[in-house]
Structure 1
Amino acid sequence: MSDVAVDAQALREQVQDKYRAVATDPDGTYHFHTGRGLAARLGYPAAEVAALPDAAVESFAGVADPFALRRLRPGERVIDVGAGAGFDSFVAAGQVGPDGRVVGIDMTEEMLAKARRTAAQLGLAQLELREGLAEALPVPDGWADVVISNGVINLCPDKAAVFTEIHRVLRPGGWLQFADIANGRPVPAEAMRDIDLWTG
């Protein structure tokens, strides 16, 4: 049994509200950076980002470049946990090429709709976008060569469940490449129960 200190459904709803806004109003004011400026600040290769249309980049809200750990190989099968509007999924699709596969998973309808429109515009047949949760990935066991994620696991209250799912969907010897926010100090119990601190 999980020892989660916050109401998982209430947290998901607040996270969805926040990222629904980022999908529909990418130029809005948020407590985090977004878009091309953020991608440049995080060190994504300029040519890779410049090749993408604005719709592919404007709602990007990651925390680092998971591809800096290891560039994907042509033909690999990749899962993007918390794909949002698809920025990292589009980068992944470019790296794995037409012989690879990328499955981007997100729980926010507006983000998925935006990602699907952009994927169609880009003609990325190797990319599929699915609705789902990080704690229950809609992918068969051992399907992925690589799982990527960018700034998402910190928003999940049951991190053990997320990592269990990632382990389940990775093939033996597969790679987990994720960028996220970590706190090196103990968090008081009352703070753990404050949803606004999770989303802020």
Structure 2
Amino acid sequence: MGDLLVDPGVLRDEVRAKYREVATQPQGAFHFHTGRSLAERLDYPAETVDPLPEAVVESFAGVGNPFAPGPLGRGETVVDVGSGGGFDSVVAANQVGPEGRVVGVDMTEEMLDRARATVASLGLGHVEFRAGLAEDLPVPDDWADVVISNGVINLCADKAAVLQEIRRVLRPGGRLQFADIANGRPVPEEARRDIDLWTG
């Protein structure tokens, strides 16, 4: 584990348990916002979100809008790190069009099941979801034009490993567009060792 402050396996188990609930009970009470109201709070354009079926949007639990820096280009290849129920992957798919490709990667089987069912119902054949970790992406080297991520890197114990993986899968000249949580003030070490605070 080196100098990591929490055990990555234990942290993953806690995160999986929380997002399993979001996948299977999206209308449940959580300590964070979800669904359409969250997408509106995060300034996703109404014309992007309104046409999407409820199954696509209801388990959305991001922290920002990774498309705010700019839309993706037609035909681009995209990796969505921590794709959850597939909301951002579907948004990406609509931006890159059928000539593009989107690969969502998530570690929670219930989220993968939801995302796969969603893209099948929408007929988005250029989107697929793979089981995997942000620190070990099941994507070839130099494959992606763009990597997107929404509220996931902060939930990983080894952020350096995540960023190295993102760099590995990006083509030369590729870009990372992500939204995440950052703290501008020092956090006491005892708090950083408390897994409940990581997931809370």
Q: Give TM-score scaled by structure 2 length.
A: 0.98
CA distance in 1, matches of 2:189, 2:43: 35
Q: Deviations over 1:67-101 (max 9, x none)?
A: 01110000000000000000000000000000000
Q: Which residue of 2 aligns with 1:177?
A: 177
Q: Deviations over 1:136-182 (max 9, x none)?
A: 00000000000000000000010000000000000011010000000
Give the ranges of 4+ consecutive aligned residues of structure 1 lying more than 4 Å apart after TM superposition: none
The one-letter code matched in structure 2 to 1:78 is V
The one-letter code matched in structure 1 to 2:31 is H
Q: Which residue of 2 aligns with 1:130?
A: 130
Structure 2, unpaired ranges of 5+ = none
CA distance in 1, matches of 2:199, 2:181: 12
- What's the secondary structure of 1:146's corresponding residue? strand
Q: Which residue of 2 aligns with 1:72?
A: 72
CA distance in 2, matches of 1:3, 1:122: 44
The percentage of counterpart residues that share the same residue type is 71
Is the 8 Å Cα contact of residues 72 and 92 (structure 1) preserved in structure 2? yes
Q: Give TM-score scaled by structure 1 length.
A: 0.98
Q: Which residue of 2 aligns with 1:154?
A: 154
Q: Which moved more, 1:44-53 or 1:70-79?
A: 44-53
Deviation at 1:43, TM superposition (A): 0.6
Confirm whether residue 85 of structure 1 aligns to residue 114 of structure 2. no
Within 5 A, what are the aligned runs for 1:38-49? 38-49=38-49
Deviation at 1:2, TM superposition (A): 4.4
The one-letter code matched in structure 2 to 1:136 is D
